[in-house]
């Protein structure tokens, strides 16, 4: 009889341990999803600012049609990207296109002096900072999640229940690691 109680106690402890591990993995996975949502919010904010910026510059530099088209196409590609693996390269291209747009704007001192352009410039710089902070939080959360599903003993539960590693949100090329220069 005592052996039965000991076995039942051990089974209960193992089950409790598995439930605790499972709940931890769920919290980490949900944290990674939430962190990506925060990155996505900042990227959408950036994408929303770009048309206003393009229209402001267009008023002063109408002959720079190729630059405007490039920014618009890069913005569309970035908006349509799904997940960190696609979003990183798309955002790099968008950052490069924005750099060209700001280079065009440098040639127009009266544009740089307008309040609208200065506000858009400040909002974009603020958004770039928020994107970087959100990326860092996301990558830290993904690191914790990936570590949990790849280390013993939680890797056993994670493997049995189909938990998959998440991708980091990485900036591919060194030039894109810096926010676009928006100082005039």
- Distances from the Cα of 38 to the Cαs of 33, 45, 73, 123, in angstroms? 9, 11, 24, 17
**In the chain, how long is the greatest CA-to-CA distance?**
91
pLDDT digits (tens, 9 = 90+) for 39-55: 999 999 999 999 999 98
Measured between its terminal Cα atoms, the distance across the chain in Å is 83
CB of 124 closer than 8 Å to CB of 182: yes
Yes or no: is domain 22-177 CATH 3.40.1190.20? no
Instruction: Give the confidence band of 175 by pLDDT, cuts at 50, 70, 90.
Output: very low
Please tell me the pTM assigned to this model. Answer: 0.80
What's the mean pLDDT when you consider all of the chain? 90
pLDDT digits (tens, 9 = 90+) for 53-79: 998 888 888 778 889 999 999 999 999
Determine the Cα–Cα distance for residues 49 and 125; give it in Å rounded to an integer: 11
Q: Give domain limits for the chain.
A: 22-177
Name the one residue in this structure whose structure tokens are 């089974």. 11
Instruction: Give the confidence band of 176 by pLDDT, cuts at 50, 70, 90.
Output: very low
Overall average pLDDT of the 94-104 stretch: 90
Overall average pLDDT of the 152-169 stretch: 95
């Amino acid at each position: 009889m005592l052996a039965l109680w000991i076995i039942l106690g051990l089974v209960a402890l193992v089950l409790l341990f598995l439930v605790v591990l499972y709940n931890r993995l769920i919290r980490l996975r949900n944290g990674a999803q939430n962190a990506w949502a925060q990155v996505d919010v900042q990227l959408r904010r950036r994408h929303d600012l770009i048309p206003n910026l393009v229209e402001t510059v267009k008023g002063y530099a109408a002959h720079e049609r190729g630059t405007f088209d490039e920014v618009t196409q890069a913005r569309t590609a970035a908006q349509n990207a799904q997940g960190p693996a696609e979003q990183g390269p798309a955002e790099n291209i968008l950052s490069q296109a924005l750099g060209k747009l700001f280079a065009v704007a440098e040639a127009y001192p009266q544009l740089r002096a307008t309040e609208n352009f200065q506000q858009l410039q400040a909002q974009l710089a603020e958004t770039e900072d928020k994107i970087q902070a959100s990326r860092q939080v996301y990558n830290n959360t993904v690191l914790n999640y990936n570590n949990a599903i790849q280390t013993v003993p939680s890797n056993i539960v994670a493997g049995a229940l189909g938990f998959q590693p998440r991708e980091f949100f990485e900036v591919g090329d060194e030039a894109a690691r810096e926010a676009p220069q928006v100082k005039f």
